[in-house]
């Protein structure tokens, strides 16, 4: 999991991209697979595209702190996917998912958020074709189990299903907008997630606007 602070310069290995949206008149930060972005008292939008991956959006509106992560549970092989359970805390997949959530929590708390005041919205875990079909389901099971065990305040969620998603999140207000991505447009997103999953495998071996929904 890569934690990127807002003052760090962007470079080719960054796990987010920043650009200005002239219609919205604000900056949009796109979080890439494996990324994390947190901010404080900035009028900007955090966005991402999700297939099998999960994005947790969290914010504390008392202090104007919010952020988003984007993660996927890593599995070495299909048998590991089938046998994994959310209480398998010693597994690489569970440790990675837990680390991804703890990085988000710690980054927000470092910026002044109170854990008790944090609210969460969860997205992703689509049942994509091929290797990722079951991984999406396992990602959903993990994040819901983690939220229950850690007593996180989940105020909205859109998880599972068949279609990938685009998510935009306002870290100041907690508002989130979601748009379904038809399968005819998912080739780039699927390639991006497959590349991310492949990188995780290597690491574990070494060790349209009218379709937008408001959440």
Contacts with 175 (C-beta within 8 Å, 6 or more apart), sequence order: 169, 214, 215
Fold classification of 31-214 (topology level): 60s Ribosomal Protein L30; Chain: A; (3.30.1330)
Give the bridge partners for 38, in sequence order. Answer: 67
H or E stretch at 136: helix 133-149
Cα–Cα distance between 52 and 73 in angstroms, integer?
9
pLDDT tens for each residue of the chain, 215 residues long: 544 333 333 333 358 788 888 887 899 999 999 999 999 999 999 999 999 999 999 999 999 999 999 999 988 888 888 889 888 767 888 899 999 999 999 999 999 999 999 999 999 999 875 555 689 999 999 999 999 999 999 999 999 998 899 999 999 999 999 999 876 666 666 666 667 777 766 665 444 445 566 66
Q: Domain limits of the chain?
A: 31-214
pTM comes to 0.82
Among 78, 75, 37, which residue's Cα sits nearest to residue 56?
37
Task: Note whether 94 and 88 are within 8 A (CB).
Answer: yes
């Amino acid at each position: 999991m890569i934690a990127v602070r807002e003052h760090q310069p962007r470079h080719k290995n960054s796990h987010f991209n920043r650009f200005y949206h002239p219609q919205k008149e604000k900056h949009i930060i796109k979080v890439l697979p494996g990324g994390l972005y947190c901010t404080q008292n900035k009028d900007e939008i955090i966005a991402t595209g999700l297939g099998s991956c999960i994005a947790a959006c969290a914010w504390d509106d008392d202090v104007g702190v919010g952020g988003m992560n984007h993660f996927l549970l890593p599995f070495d092989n299909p048998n590991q996917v089938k046998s994994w359970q959310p209480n398998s805390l010693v597994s690489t997949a569970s440790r990675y998912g837990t680390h991804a959530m703890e990085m988000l929590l710690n980054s927000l708390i470092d910026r002044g958020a109170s854990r008790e005041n944090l609210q969460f919205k969860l997205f992703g875990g689509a049942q994509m074709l091929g290797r990722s079909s079951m991984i999406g389901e396992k990602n959903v099971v993990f994040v819901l189990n983690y939220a229950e065990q850690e007593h996180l305040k989940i105020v909205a969620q859109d998880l599972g299903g068949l279609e990938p998603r685009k998510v935009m999140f306002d870290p100041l207000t907690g508002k989130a907008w979601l748009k379904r991505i038809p399968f005819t447009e998912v080739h780039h997103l699927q390639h991006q997630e497959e590349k991310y999953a492949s990188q995780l495998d290597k690491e574990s071996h070494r060790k349209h606007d009218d379709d937008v929904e408001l959440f």
